[in-house]
Amino acid sequence: MTSKAFNPFDMAQAQFDRVADVLDLDKATRDLLRYPMREFSFAIPVRMDDGCVKIFRGFRVQHNDARGPCKGGIRFHPQETLDTVRALATWMTWKCAVVDIPLGGGKGGVICDPHNLSMREQEAICRGWARAMAKNVGFATDVPAPDVMTSPQHMVWMLDEIEAMHGHKEPGFITGKPVGLGGSLGRTEATGYGLIFTVREALKEMNLKPSETTASVQGFGNVAQYAVRLFQQMGGKVIAVSSWDQEDQISYTCRRLSGVDPDELVGIADRFGGIDKAKARPLGYEVLPAEAWIEQDVDILMPCALENQVTAENVGRIKPRVKMLAEGANGPTTPEADKVLAERGIFNIPDFLANAGGVTCSYFEQVQGNMNYFWEKDEVLGKLDVKMTAAFIAVSEIARRQKLYMRDAAYVVAVSRVAKACKDRGWV
């Protein structure tokens, strides 16, 4: 979340400025891409369970739609700000472009805390958000999805409201719906699997097989669990995962040098991916401090929990054997740590490429919804592999050809695709 000291939109603009210099973009293109194309800020009046009316503030930002309808989640958060939503919408533009799906970037939010709201009140906020945005969202304009503290249930309420207003079914209007009500098979696996598809391609470039490598993972939630599963199916070994202990309010690392078993760990984890350490010990896991995950003597580190986890303070603890950092989480590496990783020659798969499997599968959900024809899971995951592999190869080729760090190469690929679309349309 944002604070007075840190403004994520300033950061998104600074990142863009750097790439714009590398690409030598003209002034009009810079002026267009530095800011969102459209922004909506609106009131959502809700009659609360106690009878009073409370006004919630909702947002939607459509950063750029030159490559297709905007795409991005809706967050419910008490500290939501328009600048946070602007930054996240900008990053969605680059994420959709780097995986080459025909979508632009959007993001939405409501200032609220679902912990303090009944389900009926949350439903009223969702329906209010949909009513406020009804003329400016849709499968051909802007497609929302779940995000922080919103769920498939919230998406279904919004879909229902939009369909009631438009007078027809419109399943491609929103993604992240439950399977059976317009959701796509494979969405649960998509981000973790997508991460491992890019790891597999990076290992190929290093002439390594997954079966010759070991990994340590931060987090054991949706992204981490499926990443661990697929990496181990490919023959790799994960020796450590970390998670957040809700009871003790600290995180710690579970290590088993013979390899962790994700199914066994899911059996002793809460629904937020917090592993019960008392149950882990008898299964042969050592319980180590929070940051032990980064200090393991492995080939690959996968931060899959939170932002700002690989920092100037702990980057020096990364062992010499580590060859790759694959960023499942959003923004896990600070710019200072990034510099050290680049100097040490540790290969980076940057977040907006590495974790783009989720949005790619959401795009598949939208496509299936528009056709009203749903694919088998293998077909979804096969198409995901094709997209992620192609995206990785495109970025790594630019990195090699232009001697760029992978994060910079990913930005170059994404921003140049969006800039070209704006130019081809005659906007700049």
Applying CB under 6 A, the residues found at the interface with ligand NAD are 191, 218-224, 242-244, 251, 272-274, 290, 304-306, 328-330, 355, 358
Q: Which is nearer to ligand NAD, 308 or 402 (CB)?
A: 308
* Gap between the Cα atoms of 59 and 142, Å rounded: 13
Q: How far is the CB of 261 from ligand NAD (least distance, A)?
A: 16
Q: How far is the CB of 317 from ligand NAD (least distance, A)?
A: 15
Q: Which is nearer to ligand NAD, 32 or 254 (CB)?
A: 254
Q: How far is the CB of 113 from ligand NAD (least distance, A)?
A: 17
Q: Which is nearer to ligand NAD, 361 or 404 (CB)?
A: 361
Tokens for 265? 């760990």
Tokens for 359? 């949005």
Q: How many CA atoms lie less than 13 Å away from 205 in the CB half-sphere?
A: 18
Contact 156, 181 (CB under 8 A): yes
Q: How far is the CB of 224 from ligand NAD (least distance, A)?
A: 6
CA angle 284, 290, 292 (to 5 degrees): 70
Q: How far is the CB of 117 from ligand NAD (least distance, A)?
A: 20
Farthest-apart Cα atoms in the chain, separation: 65
Name which of 151, 156, 304 is nearest 222 in CA terms: 304
Q: Which is nearer to ligand NAD, 329 or 406 (CB)?
A: 329
Q: Which amino acid is at 351?
A: D
Name which of 216, 190, 415 is nearest 317 in CA terms: 216
Tokens for 123? 């439903």
Q: Which is nearer to ligand NAD, 353 or 406 (CB)?
A: 353
Judged on CB neighbours under 10 Å (0-12, 13-18, 19+), 314 is: middle
Decide if 319 is catalytic: no
Q: How far is the CB of 240 from ligand NAD (least distance, A)?
A: 11
Contact 224, 217 (CB under 8 A): yes
Q: How far is the CB of 281 from ligand NAD (least distance, A)?
A: 18
What's the distance, CA 403 to chain centroid?
26
Tokens for 295? 């200090």
Residue 350 per-residue DSSP state: -
Q: Which is nearer to ligand NAD, 251 or 296 (CB)?
A: 251
Q: In what order do the strands lie in the sheet with 38-47?
A: 38-47, 53-64, 104-111, 70-77, 142-146
Q: Which is nearer to ligand NAD, 326 or 404 (CB)?
A: 326
Give percent helix, percent strand, percent coil of the chain, each to the nearest 5: 50, 20, 30
Q: Looking at 4, 54, 71, 107, which residue is catalytic?
A: 107
Contact 303, 332 (CB under 8 A): yes
- C-alpha distances (whole Å) from 349 to each of 9, 315, 385, 407 are 23, 16, 16, 7
Provide the residue count of the chain: 428
Q: How far is the CB of 306 from ligand NAD (least distance, A)?
A: 5
Q: Is 173 helix (H, G, I), strand (E, B) or coil?
A: helix
Q: How far is the CB of 352 from ligand NAD (least distance, A)?
A: 9
Q: How many CA atoms lie less than 13 Å away from 408 in the CB half-sphere?
A: 18
Contact 44, 67 (CB under 8 A): no
Q: Nearest residue to ligand NAD, using CB?
A: 221
Q: Which is nearer to ligand NAD, 147 or 161 (CB)?
A: 147
Q: Which is nearer to ligand NAD, 106 or 221 (CB)?
A: 221
- Catalytic site positions: 107
